[in-house]
Amino acid sequence: MVATTVAVVVATTALTVVQRAAGSSQGDPILESNLKSLCDLSKALRNTHVKTASGPSWRFNELEELQRIQYKLDIYSVINPKSDKGKAAAILSAAASKASAAVTRSGNSLSPLATKAALTAGILSGRINEAVQLFKQAKASNIGSDGLCLSSGGNTASELRNEGKGCADDAAVDTADLEDVNAFTASSYSKLAANGDIGTTGGSQNCKLFKPAEGGVLNSGVQGNTLKFAGGAISASAAATKLGGINKVTPATQDKNLPAYQAAIKAIHQYDTAAEAKKDVKTLLFKALQDGEVKKLTNGLLGSEYKEEPATYTKDAAANKLAKIVGGTTDKLQTDFLDKIFEEQLTFPTSLHTKHKKIEDFTDDELPTVATYLRQTSIEAATNALQKEECPTKDPKDKPMEEVCNDITDLRACGQNANCIYDTSKSKCTLKNEVKEKLEKANPAETEGKDGKTDCSSHATK
């Protein structure tokens, strides 16, 4: 799980969003410093929005690294097909393929959770900022006298450059790694009062959004009448303007007055629970070696038979042999095997036309084509060797009948061979047409025989 979790970031930041006792009077503008915790939360939510939206991207990085390492392993196994190290490289290549599939599945399942977390976090941050921006705009220059709604102190209009800068239009979005988002701790605001309003003291102006009775939008005669802003976090009544206790909201606990905050932290928590930290290649490879199919390959290449040992079989000779070759830990796999074989001096086929002497010399662009070329030429070489084994060169005396006729230069000798006839127009002995037709029917082009083996009947004398 991510070391510094997004859920903790939002949860601990939410703990800071509690009421500040200020002792202001009805209709007083909000003091910017009293919005610090809410604006800090808004910024954390925006950062979370960016991080979770791109959260599965490190899965693509893992896939890229696995593919790169697989190409290198393929090259080494083709160059050293009979050595134990070459066989181990082939096994690790299969493990890399298995690991890639697992990473892909993980990324696919994580994407919808990341999308939901990003959306809920981004929407909530937008609701907070929109409300605070409304307060910022509501001042004497816009709505006349008695129109200040957000103050940096006294009658001075706030520009959100101090404690509330997290709600500013131009507030930068943190682009640090997800693990570095946490700018808060659970105890950062633990001494703040749990109750109180967030209005200013000492100023002479009121906010028409919060002002009761005449000149304002709140009717003091209607008990319990309130206006809610920022997703319900800020509530203005005829009595006071307050900041709600967001610290009560958890992924499991719903505050009916703050549904947007609960939805955001729940979605972020679900994403964070499912997300795993980025793993290095050696860890992914080492884990994939335990896959059942990879174990079968291990037994096939380093053991006696291509099969997985039963669960009751405690001593796996092939697995032990592999561990001795590549190392028994993730770190040894990297330092004692991968790093060494990729730096090993190798002899590449002349047909590759390369000056490189080791695998590490090849660029990322070269690796796919080099690996493919070597695999294909290796297959062709193995196929040719198999054909030579199954179809040995014919004895020179076993010449095709047509060549036998062509080799006869004497007219009388040609006539004595029942299969030949002398062609006077060409002055040469040739194979009779009827005989040629019978031979062609009896000896079709070289194909797979009825017994599944190569049909060598048409092979020419060599």
Task: Say what percent of the chain tops pLDDT 70.
Answer: 72
By the 8 A CB rule, do 261 and 246 touch? yes
**Number of alpha helices (DSSP H) and beta strands (DSSP E) in the chain:** 15, 8
Per-residue model confidence (pLDDT) at position 187: 28
- What confidence tier does 61 reach under pLDDT thresholds 50, 70, 90? confident
When mean pLDDT is compared across 255-259, 333-337, 374-378, 425-429, the lowest value belongs to 255-259
- Taking each helix axis from N to C end, the angle separating 57-79 and 366-390, rounded to the nearest 10 degrees, works out to 40
- What are the boundaries of each domain within the chain? 6-274, 395-462
Q: In this predicted structure, what is the pLDDT of residue 206?
A: 78
Better pLDDT: 225 or 188: 225
Contact between residue 166 and residue 39 where contact means Cβ atoms under 8 Å apart: yes
Residue 98 has what pLDDT?
Answer: 94
Distance in angstroms (rounded) separating the CA atoms of residues 272 and 113: 9
**C-alpha to C-alpha distances, 113 to 152, 269, 271, nearest whole angstrom:** 39, 10, 5
Checking if the pLDDT of 274 tops 90, the result is no
Is the whole-model pTM more than 0.95?
no
In one-letter notation, the amino acid at residue 325 is: I
- Mean pLDDT calculated for residue range 211-238: 71
pLDDT average, residue stretch 22-34: 75
d(CA 72, CA 101): 18
Residue corresponding to tokens 């570095």:
180
Query: Cα separation of 147 and 401, whole Å?
Result: 114
> What average pLDDT does the structure give for the chain?
77
pLDDT at position 459 over 60: no
Map tokens 């390959």 to a residue.
297
Per-residue burial over 113-139, b if 16 or more Cβ lie within 10 Å, else e, is bbbbbbbbbbbbbebbbebbeebbebb
pLDDT tens readout for residues 385-401: 766 666 555 554 557 88
Higher pLDDT, 14 or 336: 336
